[in-house]
Every structure is written in structure tokens, then in C-alpha cells.
Amino acid sequence: MTSSPNVSTYDEFQKLPILDRATLNQFSPVDRLCTPISAVDDIRSTSGTSGQMPLFYFRTTGYRHMARVLVQAGARRKIYLWGYQHVITHVENDRLEGLQTVICDPQQLPQHVPLVSAMKADTLAGTPSLLLLFGQLLDNIDDRLRIRFLELTGEPGRPQTMMALRQVFPLAKIYHHYAMGEMGLETGIRTPKCDRQDSGYFHLNPEGIFAEEHKGELLLTHLNTPTAFPLIRYKTGDRINWLRHDRCQCGHEGISFELSGRSNVDFVRIAGVELRYDEIAGLLTQFDDALEPYLAVEVSEHISDAKQQVTLILKIVAKGAATLGTEQLAEQICGVVSQNLKLSATTRLKDMIDARYFTSPKVKFLPELPVSTKAPGIRLVER
């Protein structure tokens, strides 16, 4: 991109500009390379929560850390349920560590059921919601008991999902990892032995990355990592709180952190206000008993009475055992969201409805979990 400045002290490092997704997107992938293209052996795109999908080049494969931890614990054969191409890299990493891994398309879950006994899988990897769905498809109890390790990634495991997962796979030890395609490395990990098991808690992976906190957001820098485009002070979009533990029960010493959600990428600016998805998710927690932890927010705009009007359509999955009729539930949810959703420090959705910039929100119940997404509760966003 530009010639690199000389940095020899931490103070100088901290003066380097922060790199965000928007800046990355101004440069074509090839322009970002700092090695010849022939030295690149892996190209990945990320899921693109900011609306664009930047490509990242790597010189050698990453993601070895999680594989090593699993193999040390005794894992040997893994089924990876994931829809994105970049996990192909995991197969190579897993193999190098002694783990035999097969990637399965989450869109075809029922077809993969026989594979569990056929390959004598002892490990399943994927998002908590997908693993739960898959587990529920395993009618044969032996298949479920075969699974000794669950590797969770892609979304935080909500308490209800985790409880259900433990019931479905009673012998499985649960490992959480937090990684980003663009880093090519695990950023954080939590093992079954860790002191804390709450969903956002991770130990910082000490290998290959330097982490900073800037205004509550996690910034990462590659250190000696074999990437063809090292990221420096990269704004991850994840909000964190640092926690410093002297020593965890699992043996980890050093820094741990808590992910508290996504930063400002999860909003839509519309009709002069900001619609934050985490605000909506927060309001829906009071319906946890009746709802599955998934939400798609669709924002539709139309012109009415020469005024642009915006409608929020909340797409939700009701739990089978929900006691209320869905119509009544929809009404209650609409009421809570209209009255309480904040669109700015001083504006609530109610004010915008009164001013006829927004209509009342609509609730649409979906029949099943959105398996085609790695939604961490509130990620399925359509416009």
C-alpha cells in the first residue's frame, strides 16, 4: 500500500493509523500484497458483516492452535459443519496436527448423519446452533455418545443453546474458539477446564498476534505471522473488556478478554437515525422463554403520503413449547420494540412512528432456525 514507517518503540507503534475495513476496501487485493503472488498458498474472504467481502492472502496456513489443543485432549476424527470455503484451510492444519477432518455443507445436514458412525467421528465443529441441529438429527444414541469434543465457533453460545447441547452430547467436552478469517489465526480460546464458561470469555492466543483495546474495540496486529498482507492495528469490529487473570485452571497464564458484542458495524443508518441490531436483541431477551435466539431484521422502505416510511420486519423463531399463541406474542413483541427501541440518545422508535417516518414494526415467525447463517443471535440482516 505505502512504504512502511520505521517503528522501534511502542510509542511509535501506537502512533500508526488504525486500519479499518473501509480503508482495506479502497485497495484491490493484489495491491495489498507484500510478497510475490507465487508465494501465496491460501486466499480467503471474510463473511463481510460490513457489506463487502475483502480478500486476504496467506503464505502458509494458520489456525493450528485449536487443532493442537483438541489433539492433545484426545480428538482424532472431526466433522466440520461450515458453509464457507475458507475452512478448507482447517483440513490441512488439522491433518498436520494429527486430526482427520471432513468438511460438511450445513445446508445438507441430514445427509451427513451416517458419516458420524462411518468415520467414527469423535469431534464436531461448527456454530453452537448448527451443532445442536445436527445433534437433534442423530437418532442413534451411540452416535451422540461417540462425540467427545465439540469445537464451537462463529457465534456466542447462548445459555439455552449450551444447555441443550450438553443434553444432546452428554459426553462431549466443549471448546470455544474465536477467530477471524482475515487474521488467519485463533484470537481467543476457552477449554472445558477454564475458570469461566460464560459465552464471551476467551484467553488471548499468545501466538502470532498483538492485541490492543481502542475505545472498547479490539485491534489486532500480525506478529511474525506468515501472511502475505500483514494487518497492523486492524479494527476488528468486536467490542471487548480486558480481564487479567494470573493463572487459569486450564494452565493459561496471561491476558484474557470478554467479547461484549459487535462494534458499530451492526447498525443501519436510515431516515436520519441509527438502527442498532444489538438494541433490538437486548429488548427481545425478555422473551427468551418463548423465542429461539435468532433474529433477522429486514428494513423495508416505501413512500406513503409523499413521505418515506420505514418498516422493521423482525423475523423470529418461536420455541415449540411457547405458551402464548404466536399472534399474541407478535403483538407483545411489537409493543415492547415500538415503545423502547432507541434510535439515538434522544429518539425512540415510538417518536418516529408518531412522526410517521416509521410504521409499527412487524413480526414474522419463521418455521425453523436459520441454518444458512452463522448468526450470533442477531446477524441475519437483510435490506
Residues that bind Zn ion (CB under 5 A): 194, 248, 250, 252
Least distance in Å: CB of 255 to Zn ion?
12
DSSP state of 338: H
For residue 161, what are the contacts with CB-CB under 8 A and spacing of at least 6? 128, 129, 132, 293
Q: List 275's β-bridge partners, or say none.
A: 268
How far apart (Å, rounded) are the C-alpha atoms in residues 299 and 311? 6
Which of residues 239 and 252 has its CB atom nearest to Zn ion in the complex? 252
How far apart (Å, rounded) are the C-alpha atoms in residues 177 and 94? 15
Q: What single string gives the DSSP state of each residue in 273-307?
A: EEEEHHHHHHHHGGGTTTEEEEEEEEEEEEEETTE
Least distance in Å: CB of 193 to Zn ion?
6
Name the residue with cell 496436527.
97
Least distance in Å: CB of 249 to Zn ion?
6
Taking every pair of Cα atoms in the chain, the longest distance, rounded to a whole number of angstroms, is: 66
**Local structure of 63: helix, strand or coil:** coil
Which of residues 196 and 350 has its CB atom nearest to Zn ion in the complex? 196
| CB distance 34 to 3 below 8 Å | no
Q: What is the dihedral of CA 341, 346, 351, 355, to 10 degrees?
A: -140
Least distance in Å: CB of 254 to Zn ion?
10
All 3 cell numbers of residue 348?
425512540
Least distance in Å: CB of 303 to Zn ion?
55
Which of residues 213 and 253 has its CB atom nearest to Zn ion in the complex? 253
Which of residues 67 and 291 has its CB atom nearest to Zn ion in the complex? 67
Least distance in Å: CB of 203 to Zn ion?
5
Least distance in Å: CB of 103 to Zn ion?
28
Which of residues 193 and 364 has its CB atom nearest to Zn ion in the complex? 193
How far apart (Å, rounded) are the C-alpha atoms in residues 19 and 5? 15
For residue 327, what are the contacts with CB-CB under 8 A and spacing of at least 6? none
Least distance in Å: CB of 198 to Zn ion?
12
Which of residues 196 and 348 has its CB atom nearest to Zn ion in the complex? 196
Which of residues 55 and 250 has its CB atom nearest to Zn ion in the complex? 250
Which of residues 250 and 336 has its CB atom nearest to Zn ion in the complex? 250
Q: Minimal CA–CA distance to 335: which of 310, 308, 353?
A: 353
